Structure 1
């Protein structure tokens, strides 16, 4: 059994459901040869991405990686979502969980030679 529990979340299943409905509408539009129906279905598929993203940021998604078994339940809300997850692209896009770059101290120029001749 895997230690990873990716995608078993309210955010994941809601995004999947919205995208599936949009795909069904696209298929209906193809069968009926109706470009407006195909466009409507593609719009519904496109809406699934921000819906999933917003639910993830609200805590209904889960961070990538190994988590304790107690947090595996689908209805368990992630309390750390507000700070952002370190390796999560969605959190980085939202401006959460940014890593701070350490400030390096300035080294005097005379202590480091620029070439072997110096």
Structure 2
């Protein structure tokens, strides 16, 4: 199944991912103030635009987190229905996952939020 993701959402996801990865510039202890689960979801969202799966080993490198932590996060996201396992087209032994159709729609909603859409930002 091919998921159609609008280019502007992909651009927003890439921008958000860059911001997440630069949080160390703003937080002294960025390892405490940055849950990598959102980054993991953003990586999978970006990959969904190309109908690709995301390899856990690549995510471990990209997130700069040990493989067991990334695997645990992927398992939690799978249990919650955000991701599903898939096979890499290049390497069948590679452990990969992709966003579910509902998770792609949820990401689009998250990326579509504007500060004035949320009462929290207006207080």
Q: Same fold (TM over 0.5)?
A: no
Provide TM-score, normalisation by structure 1.
0.29
Structure number having the greater helix percentage: 2
| Higher Rg | 1
Provide TM-score, normalisation by structure 2.
0.28
Structure number having the greater strand percentage: 2
